[in-house]
Chains A and B, each alone.
Chain A
């Protein structure tokens, strides 16, 4: 669906992309991860021609992006929806008019527009806000509207530029679930730029981790998390990543500015069980969270990487209940 061969791009002397090679399969959800400034967003924007590149080949749905004259660029972009971190809705238009905007630009007739907009709003679960303006909506609701707008022209590809970064973990998960549903139901290829582990772990089939404009590692998400390449550790940050061996008990301090363990767990897409029988998310905030590992917990995992005070290695088994003692 999207084939990138040796893509190079520089802004002046700064090389943003250095020989990016990627193959994104049709119908998959592909994650582009990496720290800020590694070129992941730039690459994403090359896919729909918002950004040009200096060298290499980028074939999107059989079309070479660079050779496109500006006249066919619009038609090409019709096939590629895009959503953004800050939602990019028109504040002065209602939800309905925001979703209808691309259809109006493409001169659909009023009847089709009405039908499509209503269907899309139902799909993203926000029909009741149809006449509201964006300022009356929450972040998650805004992103739902943006998704509906991006899907209005029935694109084959959906690009998500840090689409969940401005949302709280729970809302982010809901948006990810929505994207997965869209992917399942419509078979749209989704490319997700993110630095959130939870997005990669819960939604993506494959991932590429970019570092300094290069693809450091790529492959199925499970593989990458198992291999734990350096780039992944860099992405998490030294301070927040530490390895724990099986059978050891580790106490992790949660300082005031840290998120609640429940939220972390939610962020990771795992369920957190607190000793005492209380299972739940978000309603506990102990100063110290003790995490214990036993032989039986995760037989196929040798080491655990603790990131941001949470065990994200467990994303191998999103459904597993993680035991911890408070």
Chain B
């Protein structure tokens, strides 16, 4: 009887508050990951192209991109979200809510992704690139047919790592009005002293991280 009452109580919160917030978190995470993957990938290619041991070294261009990447990465994510909120308002129209959170999350995740992918691409054996050069492959062919191809497993594990890092970032964003599971845990769980909501959220976050890691590992093994 007591258990049934508790389950009914739990379901009320889960159905009404937690479940929608899970979806909100997943939407924020997916959108910001897809956007930052594309942007980060493009930046990573520029970095390996212009870098010191790159395909077509241009130190001045490398330094500029490198500086921007480092600068954005030097902000703690919650500060970045708050600091660029005027810009967010300008672009998205508002600085509060799920859609508004995607913008700063993407800005924060892009340099992170760029670095991870740059490292994956740079880890390719230099001689493989020389071999490709020796049969006359162009820089673009070397990037697409050799570097990206060979770096794929490491890009996948890097993306898994980023997804987990930025799952926690979305919960942080919850603290400053983004919504999602993080906001629920803080507002309903912590500030309203509702342990049921707090620990349900914790377990859900734990399961989400596991799901991301397992998917990433599976993909890694599959393409290896």
Contacts and interface: CB of A to CB of B under 8 A. Distances in A.
Contacts of B149: 90, 92-93
Nearest to B129: A88
B133 A81 contact: no
A101 B145 contact: yes
Interface extent on B, as a size class?
20 to 34
B128 A88 contact: yes
Closest 4 CB pairs of A and B: A88-B131, A102-B135, A82-B134, A74-B136
A48 to B, nearest CB: 6
Contacts of A80: 134
Given A77-B134, A88-B128, A105-B135, 11 more contacts: A45-B130, A48-B134, A50-B134, A78-B136, A82-B131, A84-B131, A86-B125, A91-B150, A92-B149, A105-B137, A150-B134
Interface of A: 45, 48, 50, 73-78, 80-82, 84, 86, 88, 90-93, 101-102, 104-106, 146, 149-150, 152-153, 159
B141 interface: yes
27 contacts: A45-B130, A75-B136, A77-B135, A77-B136, A81-B134, A82-B131, A84-B130, A84-B131, A88-B127, A88-B131, A90-B146, A90-B150, A91-B150, A92-B150, A92-B153, A92-B224, A102-B136, A102-B137, A104-B145, A105-B132, A105-B135, A105-B141, A106-B136, A149-B131, A150-B134, A150-B135, A159-B134
B150 A74 contact: no
B152 interface: yes
Nearest to B151: A92
A58 to B, nearest CB: 16
Interface string B116-129: 00000000010110
Nearest to B127: A88
Contacts of B135: 77-78, 81-82, 101-102, 105, 149-150, 152-153
B138 interface: yes
Contacts of A84: 127, 130-131
B223 to A, nearest CB: 8
Contacts of B130: 45, 50, 82, 84, 88
A210 B22 CA distance: 69
A44 B154 CA distance: 33
A92 B120 CA distance: 15
A90 B145 CA distance: 10
Contacts of A159: 134
A91 B124 CA distance: 11
Q: Which of B128, B130, B131 has the most CB of A within 10 A?
A: B131
Q: Which of B128, B130, B135 has the most CB of A within 10 A?
A: B135
Contacts of A76: 136
A92 B131 CA distance: 15
A86 B136 contact: no
B131 to A, nearest CB: 4
Contacts of B136: 73-78, 102, 105-106, 153
A65 to B, nearest CB: 13
A106 B145 CA distance: 12
Nearest to A75: B136
Contacts of A50: 130, 133-134
A86 B127 contact: yes
Given A50-B134, A105-B136, A92 B125 contact: no
A50 B145 CA distance: 19
A82 to B, nearest CB: 4
B84 to A, nearest CB: 39
Nearest to A71: B138
A308 to B, nearest CB: 28
A149 B152 CA distance: 22
Q: Which of A76, A102, A106, A150 has the most CB of B within 10 A?
A: A102
B33 to A, nearest CB: 23
Contacts of A106: 136
Contacts of A81: 134-135
A96 B141 CA distance: 18
A220 to B, nearest CB: 28
Contacts of B133: 50, 77
A320 to B, nearest CB: 38
